[in-house]
Amino acid sequence: MSTTLDLFSPVNLGAIALKNRMVMAPLTRNRAGEGGVPQPLNVTYYEQRATAGLIITEATPISAMAHGYPALPGIYTDAQIAGWKKITDAVHAKGGKIVIQLWHVGRISHPSLLPNGALPVAPSAIKPAGQAFTYQGMLDYVEPRALELSELPSLVADYVHASQCALKAGFDGVEIHAANGYLIDQFLRNGSNKRTDSYGGSIENRTRFLLEVTKAVVDAIGADKVGMRLSPVNPFNDMQDSNPQALFNHVASAVSAFKLAYLHVIEGGMGGTAVDFNFDELRKHFKGAYIANLAFDKVRGNAVIASGHADAIAFGVPFIANPDLVERFRIDAPLNTPDSKSFYGGNEKGYTDYPFLGA
């Protein structure tokens, strides 16, 4: 007798066994302590949401040069490792699983956020439209410095070091952030990558940095503990590409060869941007577990899992406002209303004070 799979069915993503298929998406909240060290408030926040099949942490800088916003946690110092260890211990004590998203923002930064006022780095010296969120308020982005070929191996090494720190901190795995207009995505898309060397031009060349990072992280901690996030058509952070279907079909095929724990894809443009892209086609190019993300609810999530398109569904804002989202979906209970004013920065308000069912 066959059983239809749904959000509440268990699933394995590589070495990570999930009790359900509801994934908490990575959500920047800007509430880390001094030195990028997670603090007790962060422990409470993640512990509250441990009923998710998998928690993907907020995007977490892999080095001091990888930062692009205030009050971000890092994963490259001993103090940061110790802070994250309290979070992973709390999540595991509640029966949850948690991976950390590894982040380098590239050009989406500002000298005031970087060591010694350094210029942000990027594949090409192209200033993005928009403004940086800094400790001094909103400031115009600056023109980044184009990375030299000689600098790329040290960037790859930063991803490896962060991955090793993540395992020391007790994480079940890592997610390579290759989405949303940050450094790896800047290499992938030809709107931000105008290089004329072996990392620019053709799709194969623009994919090179991603594959080097992936191979190094896989070699360091094992493919079954490594996921990846992509956003093929998200225009966020002034991003575009002339042929996203061809580019990301190639990316999906290339990373499939690593036998990763999962591929996590934002299936559209954030903010409801209309896009012309076939995500079913992309899905066929990746042979492993697949997490779909973007404005899913229970009904649509169940349908996509039952169809076989996705193995799990990532939910963002619903997990911000509903620490017990899994139970609310299970019994069709009403959801809390999210407070968008408290998404970024602040204290426990809009972070750890959303009510549980029956509270």
Catalytic annotation, residues: 182
The answer to whether 322 and 334 have CB atoms below 8 angstroms apart is: no
> Hey, what amino acid is at 192?
S
100: left (phi over 0), alpha (psi -120 to 50) or beta: beta
> For residues 155 and 146, what is the distance between their CA atoms, to the nearest angstrom?
13
> For residues 249 and 258, what is the distance between their CA atoms, to the nearest angstrom?
15
Indicate the angle between helix axes 78-93 and 152-168, nearest 10 degrees: 40
What tokens does 72 get?
Answer: 């971000």
The answer to whether 4 and 45 have CB atoms below 8 angstroms apart is: no
Nearest to 95 by CA among 58, 44, 41, 52: 52
Give 194's Cβ-side CA count (13 Å radius): 8
> Hey, what amino acid is at 243?
N
- H or E stretch covering 283: helix 279-284
Count the neighbouring beta carbons within 10 Å of the beta carbon of residue 308: 10
Indicate the angle between helix axes 203-221 and 244-256, nearest 10 degrees: 30
The residues pairing with 145 across neighbouring beta strands, listed in sequence order, are: 121
Q: What are the angstrom distances between the C-alpha of 252 and each of 222, 231, 244?
A: 19, 12, 12
The residues pairing with 22 across neighbouring beta strands, listed in sequence order, are: 313
> Hey, what amino acid is at 239?
M
Q: Which residue do the tokens 């004329």 mark?
A: 196
Q: How far apart are the first and last CA of the chain?
A: 40
Indicate the angle between helix axes 78-93 and 40-48, nearest 10 degrees: 30
> Hey, what amino acid is at 187?
F
